[in-house]
Structures are given as structure tokens and as C-alpha cells.
Amino acid sequence: MNKQKSFNPPKGGMAPGGRPMSKKGTLKRILKMLISFYPVLVPVTACCILFSAAASAMPSIFTQKIIEVIEKCYQSGDWAAAKEEILPKIILLIVMYSFSIIAITTQTQLMAYITQGFLSKMRCSMFNGMQTLPIRYFDTNKHGDIMSHYTNDIDTLRQLISQALPSLLQSSVIVLCVLSIMIYYSIPMTLLLLCGVSLMLVVSKKVGGGSAKYFIRQQKSLGKAEGYIQEIMNGQKVVKVFCHEDECKADFDEINNALYEDSRRAHAYANILGPVIMNIGNILYVLIAMIGGVYLISGLPNFSLSGMAFGISILVPFLNMTKQFTGNVNQFSQQINAIVMGLAGADRILSLMDEESEADEGYVTLVNAEIDSNGNIAETNERTGKWAWKHPHGDGTTTYTPLAGDVRMVEVDFAYEEGKDVLHDISVYAEPGQKIAFVGATGAGKTTITNLINRFYDIADGKIRYDGININKIKKSDLRRSLGIVLQETNLFTGTVMENIRYGRLDASEEECIEAARLAGADDFIRRLPNGYNTELSNNGANLSQGQRQLIAIARAAVADPPVMILDEATSSIDTRTEAIVQKGMDKLMEGRTVFVIAHRLSTVMNSDVIMVLDHGRIIERGNHNDLIAQKGTYYQLYTGAFELE
């Protein structure tokens, strides 16, 4: 079974693969998630919105009643009765508005809490889920585009939840309440209003649909622009070295122009929608006033649920309701853009959350072990410096296999893309304590082999066994915990030097970290830093040289004290003098461990037990240094400088 993410949101309207089928499906899923997070607060907030919306529609009824009382008193001349009838209505209106203010205040406070809490949970869900994704995902997606999920897409989702949806609900309730009151007072006048409103809705659909298309394209263009910016920032030194500033500007102009065009069209549609709808509403207001006046003068019969004759007490509040009705229809149409942008952002967020987690069918785990003189293995919770593979079997028994570091690849084939093999029939036998070196030109498949041992990628054919166990049976986290790796590209995190070394094993003491630094040859330069081991690093250790960063990475691997080491061009960024210092530490680090070394400098692999020469994904030579020199093949030519690795 696939490893589940830490967050498994409810799904609705889903397509195969976990993707939303439509904007409706995306909205439904977001709402389900929102309610699942806040099952009490969301309904309470909705009730506050409903109450305040309904309250805003009520003044028309009070206006009608008050005008009716005034008309009656004007005809009878009994103004004292008017005071007795109007005053309670005004007091009731004040009380209702007071409760409406309380409801609005409660709604805004709860909405802020719900929105920010929801976004916080979404960011955590995305990040936690991202930690379970396979390396392939990060190799095939621009990091800047992934970052835009956490920034632009989250912001559009914020607008959707905090503004667009509450406003949509409020406008809908007001429209329904006002429409009900209108029908109650005069059906003919209501039908006239609805004819005008239908025109408003047609315009909203036409213009809003156009803006929706470009708002979605704007989100995608924005992600592409951010991805390019981050890529250029990371490669700024390369850009300057090759004087490609003008080419970068031209490429960015092209991406930026596409973003500009999508944004311009989206906002051109959006900006015209409001004024058009508002002016249609104004025209409709004038028509209602004119036709209502004619209706009033002509004395035509009024068809209504109230049974009242059409008079000034109905016309005046009807005009107010017309303004309120068209205003909320306009408000409704204005939310189309925010909803479309929010759903586009939500869809991109859900696309990240729906990415398939890295598959892990492993059930063999790595445990601390105590081994007695007779070779009996007992599992323990204490760190003993010895490990064993805990292997449960189908019959209910459990066996323990000592972690020795015996790694074997048998007839392995692999391709990053189907039909384009990178490795062909690769067989590697690394016995415990052996040092295995891979030599070959760039693209020969050296790093790919180590990626397969780590199970960053899974093989297409063949077998990889670790201490006699198929690595597919070993849990990936335990497999990787048994392997120490130093990559050619060093990654240091924001924090102190000590924290970066301790990253290799979080429970390591300061003394163990310092000892690991001594082993790697990093202790000397670290102590000469402004604050020694407490020196703060940032921006991937930009205040250190490339060689110093690599030494810290080696110390980080050393503190993990793994039984198997993978050194992928580990000394490529270190000068020859420093390399000699590091090599001594590396030799100590490699003692008693199975080590896989990838190196361009043949001086670092001469003492390897087995050297394998790769060419286009095949092993063309294997043996120790003396054997390969005697063969006078490719390795001999490399060693004597007959041709270069590159």
C-alpha cells in the first residue's frame, strides 16, 4: 500500500487520481474541508451572516408600515395615534440593528480565525504531504512554481474564504429576502424588475466568463514567472560568468509579457463588469420609478400576496428595494472574479496535495541490537552502535539479521523515462567493509546507481539485496537511515554550524558533533569562524567557501555513524591540499564500513577494493587499481591521461 500523507482531506467531485472534476467539485471539496476543520464555528459564522443579511432587508417592511401609518393619520388628522404606532416599530428596528451589529462583529472575528486557521492547516498539509513525495516530483517540477502554491495560490484561497464566499452568501440571502418582500407587495412590479435583472445576469455571465478564463491563465503564468525568477537567482553566478544577463532579461521579458497579457485581459473584463452592471441597475431604478408612478396614477389593480392596493406606501419602499436588489446582484457578479481566482488557486493547491506519495511496501525495519558472544541478537531501545534488520514473516515469526553492509545489485536495468535506458545489466557486489568506486564520464550512470541503492528511484528489472534482503522489503526510512551520503551539491540549512552537523543525527551530543568535524578535517576552520560552532549560516552557507561547506556536509554524514557510506564527488569542491587532510579523515570514516565512491579524481579511488568503469550505463571494466592498470584499457587511459573523463 502507498504511504499515506499526514492529512487526508475529504474528497468530492473527484476524477480518477484524486483530482477535482470541475470548479464545482473543487469548491465542494474546499467547503467539506472547511467544515471538517471547524464543524461548530463555520455554522455559527453562517448563521451570523444569514441574520445580518436578513436584517438588512427588513427596513423596507418598516418603511412601508410607517408610510402606511402616516397616510392613515394624514387622512384622519389623528397624529397622536401615529406616534403610538410608529414608536414601537422604530424601537424594534433599533433592537434588530443592534443584534445585527453583534452578528456582524461576531462574523468578522470568527471569519478571521477560521480563514487564517484554515490556511495554516492547508500550508501544513501541503508541506507534510510534500515530504512524502518521490524525488522524481522535484526533478520534474520547477521549485519556484511549487513555491507559488504556498504564496499566490494560498492568497487567492484566502480571498475566496474570507471575502468572496461570505459576500456571496450575504448577497444571495439579501436578494432572496428582498425578492420575497417584493412579491408580497406587488407581483407585476417584481416581474418588471426581474426582466431587468435577467439582463444583468446575462452580462455577468458573458463578461465574467471571459475574465474567469484569463484569471486562471494568470495564475499559471504567475507560477511560471516565479519559477524562472528562482531559477535565475540560484544560478546568478553562472549567469554572470557566461555574461548571459541580456539573454536572461529577454527570456524574462517573454514570460513577463505573457503574464501581463493574461492579467490585462482578466482585469479588463473584471473592471468593466462592475460599471456595466451598476448602470443597468440605475436604468432599472428609473424605469421602476416611472412605471410605478404611472401604475400609481392610473389606479390599476395590484396583484400581490398582501392583498394591498398599490400606493405610495408600496412604491417608496419598492424603489429602495430595487436599489438594494440590483446593488446585491452587482455585488454578486463582482465576486465571480474572486471565486474563479480562488478556485484556480485551490485547484493548484489540491493538485499538490493529491500527488501520489512515495510508494513504500517495506516491512523490514532497522532496530538497535545487542549481540552476545554466541551471536544471539536481541532488540533494544538504547543506542548500542549495532543494528539489525527486524524481519517479520507470514507465519508470525520474526528473525533478526545483523546489519553488515553487504550490498548486491544483480542484472539491474533502469530508465528515468520509459524506453530510454540509463543502466543496462548492472551487477555490483559490495561485501561488508569493502570500498567500491565508480569511474566514468558524466552521464555514464554513476550517481544513478547510488540513487537506486537509496531507492530514490525503483529499478525496472533485476534485484538489489542488502544483507541478503530485497531492498523492496525494507522500509525506505530505515533503508536510508542505514546509509550515510555526501552529495556533490552541498545543502546547508539556516542555523548554526553545530545544528547543521547535528542534522545527521539529531540526538548527537556536542562532543560527538565536534569529533565528527575533526574526523572530516573541518574542526580547524570551524574554530576560526567568528562564533566557532555557534556561527550562524544562512542562504545555503553563502558565507563559507565551497570546500568548507563540503567539509561540514562530510561531518554531518560522519556524525550519523552509518554502516554504509555513499560519497558522490564528496571532495570535488576541495583543493588538493585540503583534500589530503580530508582524505585522512575519510579513510578513518570509511574503516569497517561498506563505501561507494564516485569520483573524477582517480587519486581518491586508487585504494578501492573494486573499481568499476562505466560507459553509457554499462560496466565495461572492473577490478582493483593494479588489475585495471595491467589491463591497459579505459581506466589505464584515464589514469595516464590518454583521455579525460569528460
The mean pLDDT value of the chain amounts to 82
Reported in sequence order, the residue ranges of 548-645 that DSSP labels E, i.e. its strands, are 564-568, 594-598, 610-615, 618-623
pLDDT in tens, 163-186: 889 988 888 888 888 888 888 888
Q: Give the span between the Cα atoms of 491 and 549, in whole angstroms.
A: 8
Give the pLDDT confidence score for residue 573 in this predicted structure.
60
Average pLDDT over residues 437-446: 85
pLDDT in tens, 291-343: 888 877 877 777 777 777 777 778 888 888 888 888 888 787 777 777 877 88
Give the pLDDT confidence score for residue 293 in this predicted structure.
82
Average pLDDT over residues 239-250: 77
What angle do the packed helices 59-76 and 312-353 form, to 10 degrees?
A: 180
CATH of domain 14-219+265-353: 1.20.1560.10
Q: Give the span between the Cα atoms of 459 and 470, in whole angstroms.
A: 12
Locate cell 561540514: which residue?
552
**Residue ranges of the domains in the chain?**
14-219+265-353, 365-402, 407-640
Q: Give the span between the Cα atoms of 50 and 449, in whole angstroms.
A: 62
Do 14-219+265-353 and 407-640 come out as alike in CATH topology? no
Q: Give the span between the Cα atoms of 179 and 57, in whole angstroms.
A: 10
Does the pLDDT at position 360 exceed 80? yes
| Size of the chain in residues | 646
CATH of domain 407-640: 3.40.50.300
pLDDT in tens, 379-430: 888 887 788 999 998 888 999 998 888 999 999 999 888 878 889 999 999 9
Give the pLDDT confidence score for residue 582 in this predicted structure.
65
Does the pLDDT at position 271 exceed 80? no
Give the pLDDT confidence score for residue 75 in this predicted structure.
64
Does the pLDDT at position 7 exceed 70? no
User: Residue 599 region, left (φ>0) first, then alpha (ψ -120 to 50), else beta?
Assistant: beta
Reported in sequence order, the residue ranges of 472-543 that DSSP labels E, i.e. its strands, are 483-486, 495-496, 536-537
Does the pLDDT at position 375 exceed 60? yes
Does the pLDDT at position 546 exceed 60? yes
pLDDT in tens, 497-527: 999 999 888 888 999 999 989 888 888 899 9
Average pLDDT over residues 122-142: 86
Average pLDDT over residues 531-537: 90
Does the pLDDT at position 599 exceed 70? yes
Give the pLDDT confidence score for residue 357 in this predicted structure.
85
Q: Give the span between the Cα atoms of 273 and 83, in whole angstroms.
A: 46
Q: Give the span between the Cα atoms of 599 and 602, in whole angstroms.
A: 7
Per-residue HEC secondary structure of 38-86 comes to CCCHHHHHHHHHHHHHHHHHCHHHHHHHHHHHHHHHHHHCCHHHHHHHH
Q: Is-above-0.75 flag for pTM? A: no
